[in-house]
Every structure is written in C-alpha cells, then in structure tokens.
Structure 1
Amino acid sequence: MFSARSLFQEILDDDRSFRLFCSIAASGEAQGGWENGRIAALVPESMRGLAPKITRHGADEDKHGRIFHALLRKRGLDPVEVPPETDYTMLLERRGIGLTHDKLRRDEPLTERDIVVYLAHSRITEQRAADQMVMLVKYFGGDAEVGRAIKMISDDEDNHLAYCHEELLRLAEEGHGRMIQRTLRECALSEIRIYRQVSLAVMERMGRLLGWPAPKAALLAAAIHVLYAYERLAGWRRMVTLTMPERRDALGGPAPPAPAF
C-alpha cells in the first residue's frame, strides 16, 4: 500500500523522476511569469491600479521557476523537455481557459472583461497550486533538500490566492458579479478535467521511470479518477467560492528575493 507521502518520497529520491517533476514545475511557473508580465503591460487604463500587483504575481512565478531550476542544479541535473500531455498551462489554454497567448502577444490593451477572466482563471489555478503546496509542506517542509523551497513557494501561493479573492470581490461590488460567477464555474469545471488528464499523464511517466508494477499504477489511476469524480460532483463549488482573505493587499509590494536560490 502507498500514501501520498511515500509516493512523493519515491519521486524525490530518484534523479530521473525528480528531474521530470522539477522540469514540469519550472516550465509551468515560467509560463505563468510570462503571462502575468504581458497582462500587466496590457491592463486597460481603467484598471491600471492592478498593474503593480499583476507584475508582482508574475515576478513570483518567475522566482518559482528559478527555484525549481536551482533544485535541479544542486543535484547536478539539467531540465528535460516537458511532455506536451503534462503541460497543464498550455492544455488549459487549448481548453479556452484564461487569456490566450495569441491575445497576449498583441500590443493591444486588454478589456475589463479580459481582466475579470484572468482573475477568475487565476483564482481556480492558484487554489490548485496552494492546495498542492500545503500538502508538500506537510510532508516535506522539514526536508533538508526541498523544505525551504516549498515553504517559500507555498507562502507565495497563499498570497496569490488571497489577491484573487480580494480583487474579484472588489470587481463584483463594481458590477461584474454575474460574469465572475459564470466564469469561475466554467473555469473550475474545465480545470478539474485538465487536472485529471495531466495527473494521469504525469503518473504514467513517473511509473515508467520508477518501474511501478501494473497493480500500483492502476491503483494510482483509480485514485485520480475518484478525485475527479468528487470534484465534478461537489468539490468544484469550493473552487468558485469567494471570501475576503485574512491577508489583505497580499501583492501590494515588490516580490521578496530568494537569495538562497
């Protein structure tokens, strides 16, 4: 039998699976950094007050990418190319979630609706990221190799989630409430499908690298499907709820440095 802790320990202990794990994570963070940087540059004039916070969000994501690359370097490993079926960010885009890279590459101001879509998309994906980091901190926060890194990233993800809640609630008060709820629901239902798809692809790759026996691989796949069924039935509602966070103005300053990385 296995647990989440033993599963991740196995992945962290093997150089090949650790390399793939960090490469996937670094790639996703780098994409997030670029996206937030472009959104900050294209914020409509009516919402320019958000630009510094979006810039900070992107700087945090870039920092996370550097942290994962630093973890690879500490083991003397180079990143590997991310398999397309494990590219969470790009798969979400193809599903129509968030703002497309084509739109972000144009030098045309975004609309207020675009910013609502961006924040709703971020609220969903940051919830996923924050939950994952809480789990990793629980099991590996004291680990000499990765503990400091995951604690730093987890704190940032909590800030990102708080920022999304606060800004979406502010926009709801300004009259965007119906669109926000509609967008959150559509994004959440699509995200849980993509998350299942990516989780299955990542576990399949890890299983091949680590030589998992067929029963273990099948049990893991079944667990992923069970999580999807729960989220599809009821769990998605937690992802679309908005509450005023305890951390107010969480992205109201420059991104803290990570000199150790």
Structure 2
Amino acid sequence: MLSARGLFEEILDNDESFQLFCSIAASGEAQGGWENGRIAALVPEGMRDLAPKIARHGADEDKHGRIFHALLKRRGLPPVDIPPATDYTMLLEQRGIGLPHDKLRRNTPLTEQDVVVYLSHSRVTEQRAADQMEMLVGHFGDHPLVGNAVKIISADEDNHLAYCHEELLRLARLGHGRTIHRVLQESARAEVRIYRDVSFAVMDRMGRILGWPRPKSALLKAGIAGLYGMERAGGWRRMVSLSMPERRDALGGPATAAAF
C-alpha cells in the first residue's frame, strides 16, 4: 500500500530524485525571498510599519533556500534546472495570483491595495507550506539528513501563517475586509488547481527517475486527483478563514539563523 512516508523515502534515497526535490524547493524559496524583499522595499509610506515584517518573511525564505542547497551539498550534488511545469511560484504568477513581477521590478511604491493583495495571497500559500512541512516533520522529523531542516522550516512557516492571519484581521478592521475576502477566495480556488498540476508534474518526473510501474503511477495520479476533488469541493475553505493566532507579532524580530 502506498504511503506518503514510503514515497518520500524513495525520493530521499535516490540521488537524482533527491536532487530534483531539493532544487524545486530551493527555487521556490528563493523566489519567495526575492518577492518579499521587493515588497518590503516598496511598501507605501502609510504602511511602513509592515516593512520589517515583510523583510523578515523574505529573509526566512532565503534561509530556506540555503538549507535546501546545503542538503544537496551534503550529498555532493549540485542543484539542477527545474521543469517549468513544476515551478509553483511561476505558475501562480502566470495565473495572476499575487503581485506581478514586472510591478515589483520597478521602483514605484506599492499601494495599500497591493499590500492587501500580497498578504491575502500569502495567507493561502503559507497554509499550503505549513501543511506540507507539518506532514514532513511528522514523517521525517527524526531523519538524520533532513530532520533538522524540516523542523526549522516548519517553525518558520507556522510563524508566516500566524503573521498573515494577524495582519489581515488588522487590515480588515481598517476597512479592507471586502477586498481581503475576494482575494482570499480567488487565490484559494486558483491555488488548488495549480497545486494539483504541479503535483502531477512532480510525480511524473519522479516516476520516470525512479522507474515506477504504470499501475503505481496511475494510483498516485488518482490520489492527487482525489485530493484536488476534495479541495475543490470545499477543502479550499481552510485557506480563507481568518482567526487571531495564539502567537502574536510572529515576525516582529530579526530572522533567526539556521543551526543547520
């Protein structure tokens, strides 16, 4: 019987699949670091109190990218170019989720609306990241190679999610509630489709590397399709609810170093 732990053990035990896995993860984290760094630099004057928290978010993402590169280095493996179909962050941008990169490359200050859109999009994608890292910690928190890495990243993702909840609730009280509700719903519905498509692409590539038989690949694809069906039917709603987190001001200090 297939299990998440068994699949990830296969991926971790093979150099080529491990190389692709870490390269995909590092690429996404580096992109997130760049995006948050640019947003922090362009925050409008009336919202400058958010800039240090956004910068901290970006610094955490950069740190995660370095962690995945360090994992590759420990195995004596270089990073590889990732297939476009596995590039989650690029596909999100292409679907109009988040802030366009051409806007972030300019030196024109963002608007309050832009920041609300950014935080709403982040609340959705950080939910996905936090869920994935929680699963990896549950299965591999004690793994000699990746255990420490997944625990560090998981703790950061929990902080990022708490920060999104708290700041969006604050902005809703300031009159942005309607925009937040709309963007959360649009982002979540698009994200579950993109996550499905990326999952298909990643599993297809892993299957070719690891030589999975057709029945196994078909079963995995059916599982991905089933998860998408559940998320499309209502599971996406977990990505749009807002509640005050237990940990307040989760990004209120400098980024923590990775003891890795």
Deviation at 1:64, TM superposition (A): 0.1
SS at match of 2:193: helix
TM-score by length of 1: 0.99
**Alignment-mate amino acid for residue 245 of structure 2:** P
State yes or no: 1:77 paired with 2:72. no
TM-score by length of 2: 0.99
What count of residue pairs does the alignment treat as equivalent? 260
* Unmatched tracts of structure 1, length 5 or more: none
**Alignment-mate amino acid for residue 24 of structure 2:** I
**Alignment-mate amino acid for residue 190 of structure 1:** A
State yes or no: 1:35 paired with 2:35. yes
**Alignment-mate amino acid for residue 138 of structure 1:** G
* Unmatched tracts of structure 2, length 5 or more: none
Deviation at 1:41, TM superposition (A): 0.2
Q: How does 1:188-207 map to 2 (within 5 A)?
A: 188-207=188-207
- Once residues 42 and 226 of structure 2 are traced to their aligned partners in structure 1, the CA distance between those partners, rounded to angstroms, is 40
Deviation at 1:246, TM superposition (A): 0.5
**Alignment-mate amino acid for residue 43 of structure 1:** V
Deviation at 1:259, TM superposition (A): 4.2
State yes or no: 1:104 paired with 2:135. no
Q: Deviation digits for residues 138-188 of structure 1, max 9, x if unmatched?
A: 000000110000000000000000000000000000000011001000000
**Alignment-mate amino acid for residue 227 of structure 2:** L
Deviation at 1:223, TM superposition (A): 0.4
State yes or no: 1:52 paired with 2:22. no
- Once residues 9 and 207 of structure 1 are traced to their aligned partners in structure 2, the CA distance between those partners, rounded to angstroms, is 13
State yes or no: 1:148 paired with 2:148. yes
Deviation at 1:2, TM superposition (A): 1.0
SS at match of 1:41: helix
Q: How does 1:226-241 map to 2 (within 5 A)?
A: 226-241=226-241
In structure 2, what is the equivalent of residue 244 of structure 1? Answer: 244
- Once residues 256 and 186 of structure 2 are traced to their aligned partners in structure 1, the CA distance between those partners, rounded to angstroms, is 33
- Once residues 234 and 258 of structure 1 are traced to their aligned partners in structure 2, the CA distance between those partners, rounded to angstroms, is 36
Q: Deviation digits for residues 189-246 of structure 1, max 9, x if unmatched?
A: 0000000000000000000000000000000000000000100011011110000001
In structure 1, what is the equivalent of residue 10 of structure 2? Answer: 10
- Once residues 92 and 164 of structure 2 are traced to their aligned partners in structure 1, the CA distance between those partners, rounded to angstroms, is 18
Deviation at 1:258, TM superposition (A): 1.4
SS at match of 1:174: helix
- Once residues 200 and 140 of structure 1 are traced to their aligned partners in structure 2, the CA distance between those partners, rounded to angstroms, is 23
- Once residues 137 and 10 of structure 1 are traced to their aligned partners in structure 2, the CA distance between those partners, rounded to angstroms, is 17
- Once residues 231 and 40 of structure 1 are traced to their aligned partners in structure 2, the CA distance between those partners, rounded to angstroms, is 32
- Once residues 247 and 224 of structure 1 are traced to their aligned partners in structure 2, the CA distance between those partners, rounded to angstroms, is 33
